[in-house]
Structures are given as C-alpha cells and as structure tokens.
C-alpha cells in the first residue's frame, strides 16, 4: 500500500476553494469530513444559537462548521462544529479563525477518538482557548474541559437535565435541555430510573 499523498498548505487551500467536501489538514495529509446526522446538526445549531444570543452586541464571533480554524499555521487546520472567538484579529478575518476562546465538537462515531485525542491535544496548544466541549449525540452528556488560571485542564461531565454550562467570560449559560432540544435523544438517567422502577 502506497504512502498517502502529501499536500502543501497552498495545495490544501486551493483544494478547499474548489471542493464541495470539506477537508481537515494535518502535517500534509488531507482528511474528508463525513456527512452529519440530523441529531448532530440540531445539537450544533442549538449550541450556536445559545452562544449567539449570549454574545449579541459583544465583539465576538460565533461560527459553525463551515469556517476553518488554523490550529497551527502550515501544519493543522480543522472545521470545529462551533468556534467562538472574541479576539480583535479574528474580527477582520474572512476565511479562517486563529484565536478561539471556546470550541465545541458534537461527537460522531467516526470522529470521536480523533476529537478526544489528537485534535484536543492540538487544540490545547492554542493560547486563547479556555473551554472545549464534547457533546454526545447518543445520550445527554456534555464533557466540559476548562483551562484553570494555573494552566491545568479540568474536566466536568454533565448528564442531568438541570445541569448547566456557565462561561462567565462569554456571559453564557446553557442548560442540557437547551443543548438537546428537539434532537430526539433521551436523557442519560431515564434508562436507569425506568429499570429501577420495575
């Protein structure tokens, strides 16, 4: 089996302007993005709308999956499901963002390991990043990674209906009910409660 084709950054950017599919780029390799489910789209839209409402009138950008994030110049470019940037330099950009404060990925079976592993390790290199949300589309579960003032990434798993995410620097409060509205998924605890009641 031959080696995968290696692309220069310029070839990759040219490919993205001509292609109907989006591709992520890592160290010269190009990976096509899979199509998404209705649940995935609904969850992403709910989160983006929550962010947009919280940030109305502020100098922050809320972008969905079609906008590229430059994780590491000439080395790694991705299309997160949602990116929030309040950096003045990103306000001037037309094609890609560089300084996210919040990144949200809605997990898919084909990308979950990548989103948890390599991608998160790369995202941690972004000096501006403070919050990373991994949102399940199997059940109500949001994993919230926050960078502390001491430079340590903490982890909180949210699975209860009344759980909420509060990101003070964005004036953002989102409940799991808002995130999963009309996504057609059952809360995690519902199955356990039903089994115990029998």
For residue 18, pLDDT beyond 90: no
CA 103, 108, 112 angle in degrees (round to 5)?
A: 70
Q: Domain boundaries in the chain?
A: 37-197
- What is the per-residue pLDDT for 194? 41
- Lowest-confidence pick of 94-98, 151-155, 188-192: 188-192
pLDDT digits (tens, 9 = 90+) for 116-127: 898 999 999 999
- Cα-Cα-Cα-Cα torsion 95, 64, 9, 100, nearest 10 degrees, comes to 90
| 37-197 classified as CATH 3.30.230.10 | no
């Amino acid at each position: 089996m031959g080696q995968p084709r290696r692309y220069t950054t310029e070839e990759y950017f040219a490919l993205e302007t001509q292609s109907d599919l989006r591709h992520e780029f890592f160290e010269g390799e190009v990976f096509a993005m899979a199509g998404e489910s209705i649940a995935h789209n609904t969850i992403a839209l709910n989160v983006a709308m929550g962010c947009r409402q919280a940030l109305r009138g502020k100098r922050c950008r809320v972008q969905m999956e079609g906008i590229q994030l430059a994780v590491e110049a000439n080395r790694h470019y991705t299309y997160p499901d949602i990116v929030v940037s309040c950096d003045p330099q990103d306000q001037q950009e037309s094609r890609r963002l560089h300084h996210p404060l919040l990144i949200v990925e809605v997990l898919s079976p084909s990308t979950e390991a990548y989103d948890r592993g390599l991608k998160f390790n790369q995202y941690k290199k972004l000096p501006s990043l403070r919050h990373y949300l991994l949102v399940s589309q199997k059940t109500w579960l949001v994993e919230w990674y926050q960078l502390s003032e001491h430079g340590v990434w903490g982890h909180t798993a949210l699975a209860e209906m009344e759980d909420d995410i509060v990101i003070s620097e964005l004036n953002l409060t989102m409940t799991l009910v808002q995130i999963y509205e009309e996504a057609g998924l059952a809360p995690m605890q519902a199955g356990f409660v039903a089994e115990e009641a029998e």
